[in-house]
Amino acid sequence: MTHCFLYQIAATVAMTIVSPATLVHLDLDFVRQEELAACARTLAMQCVTKDAASCALSALALCETSAAAFDSTYHIVAAAASRGAMTPTQLFAIARYLERRGHPRRAHRAALLAMRGLSVAAGQDAHPALADVRWACSLARSVGADELSSMLAALIENVHCATVLSDVLRRCAAPSEGKTAAAPLSYDRPPLASLLSAALAAYVSAAHARLAHISPRHYADFIEFLVQARDTFRLAADGPVRFAQLVDNMKLVYKGKKKLMLLITERFGP
């Protein structure tokens, strides 16, 4: 019998114990209820120690009623995550759960581990983890400046898609609302300055990568890509000059693609 199957039994027992129908039917007193629930929590912690990837989220939920058990389970999960025992998808799910339960700093730590294990290549602007990436950066900003800096450092290291980086950049710069309202952040100061730099570098790299294998049917899409790039370059003090240099370099290196270079000139000037 696997650890996860044992945990499923424990979870079923625990949920049955606390259900009103069971309490009425069995006429269990509070002491007996707590004894059985404690056994279920102990088994849950044993299971998550052996198989954190499968049991972590459910174990945390089961241990919610006991602060001590919840804390112990969280530390077991955190240790397993630090060893690489869980995927970014699993860690993002745990982070979202922790945030919903009112543990933003613990949620940030889980989300940071997820971000450090993530890999989004150039051109993966439809990666399935993008919603989690945006949420993690928003969470980090709400927790504190140091947390945002560490999250963005992990983002820059592991996400190389220009459109994703520029999207997160704008989201982080905008003022936030609600309980964790925050003033807008400057693009030319830490921690956003490094993210802006990474986004611009990603656009340059992506432009050359696309041009190396581009066909005429993709010319229109490439022009729109350059429009997006220009909008992001404009966020930097020297951005317009750097974008002009990028365009000039493309015209020089890829001058053989006359039709495309004509379209670029018509859109962005000589």
Q: What percent of the chain has pLDDT over 70?
A: 87
Question: Number of helices (H) and strands (E), helices first, in the chain?
Answer: 14, 0
Q: Who contacts 4 (Cβ-Cβ below 8 Å, separation ≥6)?
A: 47, 51, 54, 55
What's the pLDDT at 65? 85
Residues 193-203: tens digit of each pLDDT: 999 999 999 99
Q: How far apart are CA 158 and CA 137, in angstroms?
A: 14
In contact, 254 and 208? CB cutoff 8 Å: no
Residues 37-46: tens digit of each pLDDT: 787 788 878 8
Q: Is pLDDT at 1 greater than 50 in this prediction? A: no
Nearest Cα to 52, choosing from 70, 79, 33? 79
Q: How far apart are CA 115 and CA 92, in angstroms?
A: 8
Residues 170-211: tens digit of each pLDDT: 999 998 765 556 778 999 999 999 999 999 999 999 999 999
Taking only Cα atoms into account, the Rg of the chain, rounded to an integer number of angstroms, comes to: 25
Q: Take residue 266 and report the two structure tokens written for it.
A: 């018509």
What's the pLDDT at 150? 98
Span 110-118, average pLDDT: 96
Residue type for position 43: L
What's the pLDDT at 9? 62
Span 77-86, average pLDDT: 92
In contact, 96 and 57? CB cutoff 8 Å: no
